[in-house]
Amino acid sequence: ELQAIENAVSTRYAETEKVKANPGLDKAENNLAVSKQKIEEKNNKFHELDVKRKKLEDTVGTHDEKIKSNESKLFSGTITDPKELSNYQEEIQMFKNSNSKLEDEILEIMEEQDMAKPEIEALKEEMIGLDSIVLRIKNEMDEKLEGLKHNIEGLKKRKEDVVSRIPGDYLKKYNDLKTKKGGIAVSVIKDNFCSACNMEIPSIETERFVDSDEIYRCPICGRMSVLYRSEMDEIKKELES
């Protein structure tokens, strides 16, 4: 029973590591990271366009103020010099021409931003979905890990009870063999086969294996051995549940 319990504990620890090394989570987190990167790039591009548009709008506003100022001077009646009047008119026209080009550029930027908005919204929806997948996988992992932790704790308590009922000299022998034999100190002899080394034991040896309460030694692998009995299957089934 002690060997079966320790085997079950080792199995649960292996299951724990398998749950932690979830390739599905790695893939989901990678997809989420890619989605976030795409959104960040789109948002940065949108922001750059916004900054550029505002600068152009500020320039148009400055030009409008200069046009207004020049027109005010033109119509004030204080300027009589034909050359000066011409200079003001040319400057007004220059600012208007410049504003016309700037406004066309602003319109192009606004159109580009309008086209980008649905893409950004779609990426946000995608990111929300991917984030939900990551959260679901993590919750499932946490639930499995908590179940395994609880199971391991129960097995360890059961092990303590079993160990307390094993004589000290047998327990020392068990631990010594476990260290030497890769963690498996006890085997079960069934149909003349050793469960640990999977070798058939010669009939001359098995003839002395008659007492189900006795501890023998496998003549092939040297492990402590006990004869099979049906309650062993019940114990194994109970530990696997």
Edge-to-edge strands, sheet with 186-190: 193-194, 186-190, 224-227, 216-217
- The closest of 213, 208, 241 to 227, measured between CA atoms, is 213
- The closest of 185, 159, 189, 164 to 174, measured between CA atoms, is 185
Give the per-residue pLDDT at 241: 74
| Ramachandran angles phi, psi of 33, nearest 5° | -65, -40
Q: Tokens 């990426």 — which residue?
A: 123
Beta carbons of 9 and 159 less than 8 angstroms apart: yes
Distance CA 4, CA 12 (A): 12
Give the per-residue pLDDT at 211: 87
Cα–Cα distances in angstroms (integers) from residue 208 to residues 137, 170, 187, 215, in the given order: 55, 20, 16, 11
Give the per-residue pLDDT at 163: 96
Give the per-residue pLDDT at 208: 86
Beta carbons of 240 and 148 less than 8 angstroms apart: no
Distance CA 212, CA 206 (A): 12
Give the per-residue pLDDT at 57: 97
Give the per-residue pLDDT at 88: 87
Give the per-residue pLDDT at 121: 95
Distance CA 154, CA 166 (A): 19
Give the per-residue pLDDT at 82: 85
Claim: this prediction has a pTM higher than 0.75: no
Strands 216-217 and 224-227: antiparallel
Give the per-residue pLDDT at 74: 84
Q: Which residue stretches of the chain have pLDDT < 70?
A: none
Torsion from C-alpha of 151, 153, 159, 161, nearest 10 degrees = -110
Amino acid identity of residue 192, one-letter, is N
Q: How would DSSP label each residue in 24-71?
A: HHHHHHHHHHHHHHHHHHHHHHHHHHHHHHHHHHHHHHHHHHHHHHHH
Give the per-residue pLDDT at 192: 92
